Amino acid sequence: MAAVVYSIFGSEMAASVSLPKDGDVTRALILETVMTFTLVYVVLATTNSKDFKIVPLAGVAIGFFLGFNFILGGPISGGAMNPARAFAPALIVWNFDYQWIYWVAPILGGIIAAGLYKGLPSPLELPSPKAVQTK
């Protein structure tokens, strides 16, 4: 896809390469990690729910968080949240500056989200208030 865009727009495509604003590596790394964490956690929480009332709304929740993350992170770090999204344009225009951020942050954010999702009890595992009162 990046090659098609490059063939249409030429060197103007350099604007689509994800680079941290003002070269602030720390801010970009933290933001990309948090954005990936929220996206992966929402995907896990909505698609793995045993409450079948929430599953049809999974796409809405995922889309909302994807859009929110992109609006928030786009101007600061490019809002990649996916190594392929950052790598393809960088490969086409041959600009690999800061590319490590867009590999480390999504992997770290995904690992944190999966660990937290697995570590926290689901609402179905928590005792109900009535069960606690009868004891």
Flag whether 3 is in a domain: no
pLDDT the model gives residue 121: 75
Flag whether 2 is in a domain: no
pLDDT the model gives residue 57: 83
Question: Domains in the chain: how many in total?
Answer: 1
pLDDT the model gives residue 16: 55
CA distance 18 to 92: 12
Q: For each of the chain's 135 residues, which pLDDT tens digit applies?
A: 666 666 666 665 555 556 676 778 888 899 999 999 999 999 998 888 776 677 788 889 899 999 999 898 888 887 888 888 888 888 887 878 888 998 999 999 999 999 999 988 766 555 556 655 655
Flag whether 115 is in a domain: yes
Q: What CATH number is attached to the domain comprising 121? A: 1.20.1080.10
CA distance 48 to 63: 16
29: Cβ contacts below 8 Å, ≥ 6 apart: 101, 104, 105
Q: 0.85 exceeded by the pTM?
A: no
CA distance 133 to 76: 50
CA distance 13 to 4: 10
Flag whether 49 is in a domain: yes
